[in-house]
Amino acid sequence: MLLAVTVGAVAGCTNSQQASDQPTATPMGRSFVSSEVKGTAIPGGGPLTMQFRDGRVTASAGCNTATGPVTLDGGILKVGEMATTLMGCPGETAGADDWALGLLRSSPAWKLTGPDLTLTGNGSTVTMLDRKVAHPDKPLTGTPWIVDSLVRNNAVERSQILDEVRPTLTIAPDGSISGSAGCNTMTGRAEISGSDITFHIATTRMMCDPQVMDVERAVLQALDGKATATIDSNNLSLQNTGNGTGLRLHAE
């Protein structure tokens, strides 16, 4: 009898150890959008969006976008040095950046239950929903996409002039392209193979203000040749595999 109890205890201990060794689900590799905020509200109303990828977090509460390294050990979210875009935002949304950075830098507790992520810190409890549940992936073709960020020199850039000119891109199901590079109208064709797109772009030849033309050059450089497309909910990322530039777009 004593032997049976001892063996059972050892087996139970082993099973417990195996259970503890199982990986715990984390937000890494997923994106979320806030559905409820208790406590200190987001200035301007938000929402808060967060993307976890490759050991980094990217967050925005309605104004600028912040990105930096993140760890999720022990149910605590800890960020390193955060880099942010520097766009001025109107009205109450001007306080959204401080709210978001205050939450992230407070080392908030996190809890993941199915599609729901809860963050608690800095006087707020934020409930977030997986973006793929809240907003299922948009199709690449047939969706009007609007450029909201440029990628060049290994940095993501967002500016007021970019928001004003609103470059657009639409790829029809037959591969034909329409849109605006910022100043000029774009036409052309796209050859799609899985997540790879080869662009063949032509534009009209108008001249606009220098700042607008700078945006246009960046857009056209990203659409020059082959790019890799990644869709996350209603967001499209294009990364040019030849020159290292790219675009971040959202569905209209």
Q: What is the pTM of this model?
A: 0.63
97's enclosing H/E stretch is helix 96-105
Q: Tell me which of 153-157, 187-191, 226-230 is least confident.
A: 153-157
What six digits make up the tokens of 99?
């709210």
Cα–chain center distance at 128? 14
- The pLDDT tens digits for 89-114 are 888 898 999 999 999 999 999 999 99
Confidence of residue 12 (pLDDT cuts 50, 70, 90): very low
Comparing C-alpha atoms, which of 192, 188, 156, 200 is closest to residue 173?
192
pLDDT of residue 20: 40
Give ∠ CA 69-74-79 in degrees, rounded to 5: 20
Summary mean pLDDT of the chain: 90
Confidence of residue 42 (pLDDT cuts 50, 70, 90): very high
Backbone angles phi, psi at 81, to 5 degrees: -70, 125
Compute the distance between CA of residue 162 and CA of residue 218 in angstroms, rounded to an integer: 11
pLDDT of residue 71: 97
What six digits make up the tokens of 183?
């100043």
Q: Average pLDDT in the 10-14 region?
A: 40
- The pLDDT tens digits for 150-182 are 998 878 888 889 999 999 999 999 999 999 999
pLDDT of residue 13: 42
Q: Average pLDDT in the 16-30 region?
A: 64
Compute the distance between CA of residue 77 and CA of residue 112 in angstroms, rounded to an integer: 12
Is-contact 128 48, C-beta < 8 A?
Answer: yes
The residues pairing with 53 across neighbouring beta strands, listed in sequence order, are: 56
Per-residue pLDDT at 6 exceeds 60: no
Confidence of residue 22 (pLDDT cuts 50, 70, 90): very low
pLDDT of residue 153: 82
- The pLDDT tens digits for 50-75 are 999 999 999 999 999 999 999 999 99
Is-contact 68 57, C-beta < 8 A?
Answer: yes
